[in-house]
Amino acid sequence: MNINQAFKILSNISDPHIARIITDAMPNMSRFRLWRISRQLRANVPVAKIIHNKWFYGLKFYTNKWTLDPRPDTETLVDAVINDYKRAKHISVADLGTGTGCIICAIANNINADGVALEKSRLAIRVAKKNIQELNLDEKINIKHGDFGNPHALPNDAFDIIVSNPPYIARDDNRVDAGAMHDPKMALYADNNGYAAYEKIAQNAKNWIHDGGRIYIEIGIDMAEKVKEIFNRTGWIFINSVSDLGGIVRVLIFEKHNKK
């Protein structure tokens, strides 16, 4: 089937812009493939999950059903790190719950940084490994299988900064958009009204970072005060908050200081 025929059929199902993205990515699709894509669009499967790639911070990342699709909101997290460390000679980074690897890859591609991408899903690790290799960042980023809920997941006092976009949606929250229903639940939902991952990270990450090191963490809407409280009571010092383009506080920055 030629590209114009496919475009016409997909335009009747979805927005013409979406149809064009798909046909540009798959110009020689079979009738069976077109039928399958049509079903996916009717089921609100995100375009990234159909064409298996998503642009993030100027880089193209492979994605599939085992990973959270990179989102523009998370670019705020990358911006915050790059703005603070763009003149640094070198920093070591740990990315907790790396998924596609988009955060640590974007950081390592823009400043002099290397580090570890920690992920507990072995299927997501395959995706992150593919992206790291295709972006030629193999020598800068190592992938480690592990859970940030485990205090021994990473070596003590090993990193200058830690970054994370953890799961933060409460399990009974029904405000998730239709596209997110096709992302892995373990990357979206957390216990304790969405705060369980922050509690684990606040407790464990302080062992993995140098004194004076910082953690940059993404948060959901209206979660700032509660997350600050969680990190403050485990010994972190609040440094700053960063808002996304919509003016929503999206990133919190904390610093570690050992008590003397």
Neighbours of 167 (CB within 10 A): 20
**Per-residue confidence (pLDDT) for residue 183, from 0 to 100:** 85
Give the total residue count for the chain: 260
Average confidence (pLDDT) over 70-83:
95
**Per-residue confidence (pLDDT) for residue 22, from 0 to 100:** 84
Answer whether residue 10 shows pLDDT above 60.
Answer: yes
Task: Give residue 178's pLDDT band: very low, low, confident or very high (50, 70, 90).
Answer: low
Alpha-carbon span 219 to 240, nearest angstrom: 13
Alpha-carbon span 141 to 119, nearest angstrom: 13
Residues 6+ away with beta carbon under 8 Å from 50: 22, 37, 40, 41
Has this prediction a pTM greater than 0.85?
Answer: yes
Closest by CA position to 147, among listed 120, 116, 185, 117: 120
Neighbours of 25 (CB within 10 A): 13
- Helices 224-233/196-204 angle, 10° precision: 30
**Per-residue confidence (pLDDT) for residue 56, from 0 to 100:** 96
Average confidence (pLDDT) over 42-64:
92
Between 52-66, 147-161, 177-191, the lowest mean confidence (pLDDT) is in 177-191
Strand partners, 67: none
Check: CB of residue 28 under 8 Å from CB of residue 22.
no
Task: Give residue 156's pLDDT band: very low, low, confident or very high (50, 70, 90).
Answer: very high
Residues 6+ away with beta carbon under 8 Å from 76: 218, 242, 243, 244, 245, 250, 251
Alpha-carbon span 124 to 121, nearest angstrom: 5
Q: Tokens 């991952």 label which residue? A: 197
- Amino acid 82 reads I
State pLDDT tens for residues 236-257: 999 999 999 999 999 999 999 8
Residue 142, φ and ψ in degrees, nearest 5: -105, 145
Task: Give residue 260's pLDDT band: very low, low, confident or very high (50, 70, 90).
Answer: very low
